Each structure stands twice: as structure tokens, then as C-alpha cells.
Structure 1
Amino acid sequence: MKDKVKGLVAGLLIGTVVTGATAYAAGGKMIEVFYNVKDIKINKVSKTPTEQPFVLNGTTFVPLRFVAESLGEEVKWDSKTATVWIGEQPEATAKYFGDNLQHMNWQENGKDFTYEYSYNEGDIVKDTVGNSYNNYITIGTNYIFSDAKEALLEFPLNGQYKKFVSKLGFTDDSKATKETVTFTVMLDDVSVATRSVKAGEFPADLNIDVSGAQKIGFKVSNESHATQFTVGLFDAHLLK
């Protein structure tokens, strides 16, 4: 059966899928859809969503919440960032680097400025197993045969946080590096955790108690200079 529906093709469709509410807007254009989906089976069990699925230009549209919750995953709509979260949710007290949490210090010990850093700059960063992140901190060398051996990036904490949580490893574009890099977490200029980062390793979990600390620092050290590399702190955030 063929039917015509008024609505926005982009933007409002996400709102409809997540909330299950019908959305219309002035200036929206007419689209033609087909209500010819007779059944949906999830793990061999027939399930019917409240909002009727439809086909548009050969693609079947089914409410996102219905599919995710039928597979046992929680769904959350973040209106501030216009983001749909499925499954694992961000902690309610999570604070990400960037915006109102800028670095307070950047140091490197080479004669030339051969290290570089970035954090939450709007790009997507991948780890060596293909996972993508838009919350991250990266520190690495920007060309081969540099004379720098160490770099330090520091952020203020002002005693406001309890935990630093992240995954540590090389970024995807560094998985062929021959470097073994030493990564150190510093709290108030004292080393509290040291890890070696090598090619071929899975990203490792970091969970650091930062209670009462005034600042946190991330130090990267390397001995040889044969290849470029970038170390990533993936999904790096602080918890209160």
C-alpha cells in the first residue's frame, strides 16, 4: 500500500525514531513511502513496533528505540549534543577535556619542537583495532629522526575530581611504528602510573584515582627516533 507523509527527511526523522512521536514542520517537503513491512523478527521472534515501519527509496526505516531495546540495549537521547546513545552510556558526572577544561602546560625537551598534541578538536580518532572516538587526547612526534625524547601535557584539576578513566594505546596511523613508548600519568608532579606502549598490543584500560589532586599530567618518553608515532588516550574523561 502506498501512502504520502509530510515531514522533514533529515533531522526530524531522528527525533521520530527515538521518541516515537510524529514530527512535522513548516517548510517540510512531501515524501513518498511504502507501508509494506508485514513482520519484523528479532532472534526468530516476531515483534511489532508501535510506530509502523516504512520503506523509502529501497531502505526500510524502523524505530531505533524499538530495535535497540529488543536487542537488550538501553537507548538515550542527549538533546544538548543531538546524540543518540545505544548500549553503554556516558557517566552522569563525566568531564571531557576541551571546552571548559583546557591544558595549563605543554613542555618538550628537544632542541626543535618535534612533538605535538591534540584533544577533542572535533575530529574522529581511531585506535589500532578500529574503534572510533571523538573524545581523546593524543601526543606524538610529527616527523622522523627528531631529537626530542620526552613531552608533557598538563591539565588543572583543582581537587574537583575522583577518577581519570581512559584507554591507552597507539592511534591507528601509528600501528606500524617500531617505537616502544613509555607513558606516565603524573599527579601534582608525582608519577602515579607508568605503562609501555608497543605496536601489536590492544588498547589498555586506565583507571586512576585523582582524589584531591590539583593537576594531572601525561608524559610520553621514547628512546629511538626511527619512526613517527602518536599515543592516544581514548575516551579520556574525569569523574567527580
Structure 2
Amino acid sequence: MKKLFIITSYLGFFILGGMTFTYFSTTEAASDMKKISVFQDPINYYVDKVEKVPSEGQSGFNYQGTIYVPMRFIAESLGEKVTWDGKTKSVYIGDVPKFTALKDVKPIGNEEDHFFHNPSSITIRTGEKFERSYQLGGYHGGGAVQDHTVEYLANGNYKGFETYLAPIKKLAANSSGIGFLKIYADGKLAYDSGAIKDKVKVYVNLEGASKVKFELEGSGLGILDPKFIQ
């Protein structure tokens, strides 16, 4: 299970005043936070044989045999810029990707896709709320199973596709399930969600793909802020 370290300084600028850090697993609630003890090491850094010295307050530490180092210091020592997106809790080293919402991409054969053209606010089972999202089965379908297929021209313009999938907060009465998502790149299956029980992140590499097809089926599945990556 992946662990997320909570560091109370910007982008891995570690605090030296104490020896205790807090982490929680990415699938656990914040109430399950735990404290750990770490060993602060006097680490020496060299890039292409040249010693690099971090600023005061940016030392690394040792935890269970793994050395953790300040990300910004390491990246900038390698000549890369670092960008922090607090909204998505994402760190970008180097160029920041450009995103195109799925609703803004013209599908093959139509000016717009009737399912993805009108996003709305979606609340998933955990209580989290997402904008620019969709519910499979729809609010007006009475919980009936819905299927949808749509295909887009990519022409090698997209590096990837990403979204989150999750059960919605309240499943419709007599729902037959929460649905699935399949993604095809140039006719080959690139992603199959299977049965979704918890929120999962979806990333599909689309390097060089000419066409991308989405197949959805079921009821009660949230498709959260889907977008292409350029």
C-alpha cells in the first residue's frame, strides 16, 4: 500500500527541528494518520562529479533503509524546474503538461458527444465532490444500465489520457452495478477498469496513437474530470 508523507514545508523542504513525521496511506482517511521516527543523515550530493550543497533546512533523512531527499533541490541541481499544483497535489519536474478536457474534444463524426459534452458536479461515495465530471446511468435514467461508445481522432497529438473512476455517493435503486470503462488506442485495448469498488486513478499512454475509443457500461460509476494530456 502506497504511503504519502506529509511534510509541512514546500515541495520537500524538510524541517530539521524534529525527528518525527506524519504519513497516511493514499487509501486511508486522514484520521488514520500515523507518526514515524526517522534518522537525519549528513548526505553529500554530487551531480556530474560536482558537489551540490542544499540550503539550510533542506537535509534528507533515512527511513527503513531508504534515503529521502528534498525534491526541489535535487531537480534544480539537475537543471530542471519544479512546479507544484496544489489543487491536484501534483509535482511537475521540467515542462508542465497541457490538459484538454474531454468535453472540448470533437468526436469522430459529430460536433460534440452527447455524454461528455455537458459535465456536472459529482459526489462520490466517500463524500468527495468533483467538478467537470459524469455519472454513468445519469440522474434521469432511474438507475438503469447505460452504455456509451465514442471515438476521437488523436493523430499523435496526445501524450496520454487521465481521469478518476469511483462509485457515486448514492447508487440508484435496483442498480446492477457501478459500471466499467474500456479504452482502446488504434483498435487495441489499452485499459480495462473491470469492477470498480473504490476510487482509482486512470492513466493511459497515448504516445503515437491516431484514434482513441472509449466504451462505458453500467450504472453508478463516476467519471471524474477526464482529460487528454498534450
Normalising by structure 2, what TM-score?
0.48
Normalising by structure 1, what TM-score?
0.46
Give the number of the structure whose alpha-carbon radius of gyration is greater: 1
